[in-house]
Amino acid sequence: INHRGTIESTHLLIEKSGLKIYKQEISEYKMRFLNGTTFLNHSFIIIAFIDSWRNMFDEEDKVNFFERFEAKLNEYGKEKGELCLTIPMIYIECRK
């Protein structure tokens, strides 16, 4: 998460580029999953997260981690009825 920009850092980047912000909308998007298995196999999760999670562990620990992670997410999904991932979004309209 630390490598992703904040609203403030994005504003600074835009302003340093010589643009002026005219409109901004802050929102969020919720992705809902039945369980950990559906979560871990979703294309967005694979593209956005899986590689960075894999890189956190030595090779011999990866299988153990993902098996436990999936099992815990499945337990949570069964208990709560779903897994919900909230994705923050910002739309910024700029002009020169």
Whole-number pLDDT of residue 39: 97
Q: What is the pLDDT of residue 5?
A: 85
Name the nearest CA neighbour of 14 among 80, 75, 78, 93.
93
pLDDT the model gives residue 4: 76
Q: Kindly give, in sequence order, each residue whose CB lies less than 8 Å from that of residue 27, ignoring residues fewer than 6 positions away.
A: 88, 89, 90, 91
pTM: 0.75
Q: Where are the domains of the chain?
A: 7-95
Q: What is the pLDDT along the chain (96 residues), one digit of tens a residue?
A: 566 789 999 999 999 999 999 999 999 999 999 999 999 999 999 998 999 999 999 988 999 999 999 999 999 999 999 999 999 999 999 999
